[in-house]
Chain A
Amino acid sequence: MSDATEIGDATERALPGGGAAALSPEELRGLLRWMIVARRLDRECIALQRQGELTVYPGFEGQEAAQVGSATALAANDFVWPTFRELAAAIVRGVDAVQYLQYHRGTWHGGPYDPRATRFGPINIPIATQIPHAAGYALGQKLDGTDAVTLVYFGDGATSEGDFHEAANLAGVWRLPLVLFCQNNGWAISMPTAQQTAGEIWRRAEGYGFPGVRVDGNDVLAVREATAAALARARAGDGPTLIEAMTYRIGAHSTADDPARYRAGDEVERARAGDPIARYREWLLASGAADAAFAATCEEEAEAFAMQVRAGVIATPPPPEAWMFDWVYAEPPAGWNRMRDEALG
């Protein structure tokens, strides 16, 4: 499509700062604050897992700009469908982190918070299956005549699944108010993107009849700008956009994974050199919108928040046995109730 464009450049070190003009100094500072808070929380979660307070945890270090840049672009009534690696986006959207982490504490499944109240869908593990949900939600919003937009996150690996294709195709045919946001972090567990797909993910949009955009996913301003443009396009009734944010998974797939088995150490070091937070901090301070004292305050806030979340997680008790049965049916069958009574005594 002629309107398929590239914004930013994944190999470019310097922030273009193109999206900065549209943001107030407060918004610019907010991006740094969220990224610092998110990274500190992510590291705390890994510590909590190592200490036995969380079950397997999928870290997102390196992807802060992709998540914070996109999530902060959303309007209050927009709706987000996450994968299992969007804790940064979740806290930006106001999801309570302790409630969210009930999932990783193993006290409940993917929807431990209220998805409708937070406008943040359940944490989703089966790869790409949330993308049709997002398409359906966007259809529902469109039928209701709202101007709300739906944004769905997924990874590079998800684009190999049929559900990605089916949902993207529906979004194109029905011209849905949907932003398909791919965080291409280079790896799907042990599979590098080159073994996942021979083409470029953003270019697939052309086949579905809507624009695709590749953006430097480690440039928070570029991500913010690309997402804002896609949201505006959807809000105007012009249909979906596929954004491929080029980022990097610095950590393991999850705390149960050992990436030393499949990727070379220097690759990670190269990625660390382009760290999205360090890059943005440097740019922000140089821009004059923030000073070193602000950055220090962010670190303090992040530390306090991480400690608060830690305390909340540790204080979360195991759920009562009855929870296994409480929400299976809205109208439980009589025979099923007898089984419940048998289990619960």
Chain B
Amino acid sequence: MNEWTMSGALNRALGDALVEDPRVLVFGEDVGRSGGVFRVTDGLQAAHGPARVFDTPISEAGITGAAVGLCFAGWRPVVELQFDAFSYPAFEQVVDHVAKMRNRTRGRVDMPITIRIPAFGGIKGKEHHGESPESYYAHTAGLKVVVPSSSLDAYRLLRLAIADPDPVVVLEPKARYWSKETGELSADGPGIGEGRVVRSGDDATIVAYGAMVSRALDAAAMLADADGIHARVVDLRSLSPLDDELLARCARETGRIVVVHEAPRSLGVGAEVVARMMELAFDHLQAPVARVTGWDVPYPPASLEQHYLPSVERIVEAVRAVSSY
């Protein structure tokens, strides 16, 4: 059994995909010689050559548009857009072409593109380095959007994303790149579109994704110790598609739901989770679904980010509130 950082597990996922499928290409800014600003592509160019793993000019729209053209030529591109806010220059390409090209061509041309974006906050980054862009992408039909929360699942999700015939946006939580998990790397297990229960419990459910999963787990542990409340923790993993079955089952079995994300509250993924709960399991809910989220403000500077990010204490308070409703 090996211990893996998320960065290391993602690196292995890319390396294994490059070995298994000769049509896989990995490219982006600083991914070649430097190995990526978070070392996710470290050593890949040396191992697989500069034709398979290559650096690009600072050109997010160009990188993403080139990936579209490469798909027409039968390649399977895995691109890195270096930071959350740096994905915005590529937005037109993502929404107008990556997401729609299969539909535009009546299924004749698939877009098996993986767009990796180091995302979210919590690492005392500069402005434009801590954003949560998931709603922009999850709101776009044709895309799939996944967010890993741990090393082993990061490996699995990235392998699944690369193998997927549809375009997948992989939002990698920067705050978890150096977190460690012990186990064997494998693409087997829950697929894209499936969430997973990472802590069992029947009193309430905390729904989270990305770096908020570990905070949800800390909150659940605190609630069990201090309050005797046994909260289940669900790692959504896949924001588009969402796992309706799992969400409905948690509503039926626990009746009390708290959804947690870093993104601003309004029109966030939490709003969609609340709506699904209403549609799928309204009669089972014993309390209004609560949201613990970032605020509707620009992501704050490093010295204020802990006042923005959902804290363990805020999650605990929300679970207490839905439990005593």
Q: Which residues of A come within 8 Å of B, CB atoms?
A: 79, 81, 108-112, 114-116, 121-122, 126, 129, 131-141, 143-144, 162-163, 166-167, 169-170, 173, 323, 326-331, 333-336
Establish whether residues A137 and B70, one from each chain, have CB atoms under 8 Å apart when the complex forms.
Answer: yes
Q: B92 to A139, Cβ gap below 8 A? A: no
Known A111-B108, A133-B65, A162-B61; contact A328-B103, beta-carbon cutoff 8 A: yes
Q: What residues of chain B lie closer than 8 Å to A162, measured between beta carbons? A: 61, 89
Can you pick out 14 interface pairs between chain A and chain B where the beta carbons lie within 8 Å of each other? A81-B69, A109-B104, A116-B109, A121-B72, A126-B96, A133-B65, A135-B69, A136-B69, A137-B70, A139-B69, A163-B92, A167-B62, A327-B106, A333-B193
In the complex, B67 has a CB within 8 A of chain A: yes
| Alpha-carbon distance between A79 and B97 when the two chains are bound, in angstroms | 18
In angstroms, Cα B243 to Cα A335, docked, is: 8
Contacts of B72 in A (CB 8 A): 79, 115-116, 121, 133, 136-137, 140
- Is B93 an interface residue, CB under 8 A from the partner? yes
Question: Nearest chain A CB to B128's CB is how many angstroms away?
Answer: 18
Q: Which residues from 90 to 137 on chain B have a C-beta closer than 8 Å to any C-beta of chain A? A: 92-93, 96-97, 100-110
Judged by a CB distance under 8 angstroms, whether B164 is at the interface is: yes
The answer to whether A122 and B65 have CB atoms under 8 Å apart is no
Any A CB within 8 A of the CB of B183: no
B102 touches A166 (CB 8 A): no
In the complex, whether B244 has a CB less than 8 A from a CB of chain A is yes
Q: Chain B residues near A132 (CB, 8 Å)? A: 61-62, 64-66, 68-69, 93
Cβ–Cβ contact B164 & A331, under 8 A: yes
Say yes or no: is B165 at the interface (Cβ < 8 Å to chain A).
yes
Chain A proximity of B17: nearest CB distance (Å) = 17
A contact residues around B206 at 8 Å (CB): none
Say yes or no: is B75 at the interface (Cβ < 8 Å to chain A).
yes
Contact A170 B73 (CB under 8 A): no
Chain A interface helix/strand/loop/mixed: helix
> Which residues on B are within 8 Å of A, measured CB to CB?
25, 51, 56-57, 59, 61-62, 64-75, 77, 89, 92-93, 96-97, 100-110, 141-142, 144, 164-166, 193, 240-242, 244-245
Say yes or no: A111 contacts B65, CB within 8 Å. Answer: no
Residues of chain A within 8 A of B56, CB atoms compared: 170
- The answer for the CA separation of A61 and B193 in the assembled complex, in Å, is 50
**Residue of A133, A138, A139, A326 touching B106 (CB-CB under 8 A):** A326
A330 to chain B, nearest CB (A): 4
Cα–Cα, bound, A81→B71 (Å): 14
Whether A111 pairs with B106 at a CB distance below 8 angstroms is: yes
A79 and B109 alpha carbons, distance in the complex (Å): 15
* A136 pairs with B109, CB closer than 8 A: no
Q: Knowing A109-B104, A133-B69, A334-B193 are in contact, say whether A170-B62 is a contact too (CB < 8 A).
A: yes
Majority SS of interface residues in chain B?
Answer: mixed
Closest residue to B96 on the A side, CB-wise? A126
Contact of B104 among A111, A166, A336 (CB under 8 A): A111
Residues in B with CB closer than 8 Å to A328 are 102-103, 141-142
| Nearest neighbor of A163 in chain B, beta-carbon distance | B61
* CB neighbours of A334 from chain B (8 A): 193, 241, 244-245
User: Which of A126, A169, A326, A330 has the largest count of B CB atoms less than 10 A from its CB?
Assistant: A330
Chain B residues lying within 8 Å of A330, measured Cβ to Cβ, are 102, 107, 110, 165-166
Within 8 Å by CB of B70, from A109, A140, A166, A167, lies: A140
When distances are taken between beta carbons in the complex, the residues of chain B under 8 Å from A333 are: 144, 193, 240-241
B241 proximity list for chain A (CB < 8 A): 333-336
* Contact call B100/A109, Cβ cutoff below 8 A: yes
Closest chain A CB from B187 CB (angstroms): 15
- Known contacts A122-B101, A169-B62, A335-B244; is-contact A129 B73 (Cβ 8 Å): no
Q: Which residues of B contact A111 (CB under 8 A)?
A: 101, 104-106, 108-109
> Which residues of A have CB within 8 Å of B61?
129, 132, 162-163, 166
Distance in angstroms between the alpha carbons of A109 and B68 in the assembled complex: 17
Task: Return chain A residues, CB-CB under 8 Å to B59.
Answer: 166, 169-170
Tell me, rounded to whole Å, the shortest Cβ–Cβ distance linking A340 to chain B.
11
CB pair B103 A133 closer than 8 Å: no
How many angstroms between the C-alpha atoms of A28 and B110 in the bound complex? Answer: 39
Cβ A137 vs Cβ B69 within 8 A: yes
- Whether the pair A144, B73 counts as a contact (CB closer than 8 A) is yes
Instruction: Say yes or no: B65 contacts A136, CB within 8 Å.
Output: yes
Q: From residue A178, how far is it (CB to closest CB) to chain B in Å?
A: 10
**What's the Cα separation between A13 and B141 when bound, in Å?**
51
In the bound assembly, the distance between CA atoms of A109 and B96 in angstroms comes to 12
Tell me which residues across on chain B come within 8 A of A141, comparing CB atoms: 73
What chain B residues lie within 8 Å of A135 (beta carbons)? 62, 65-66, 69
Inter-chain CA distance A328–B144, complex, in Å, is 11
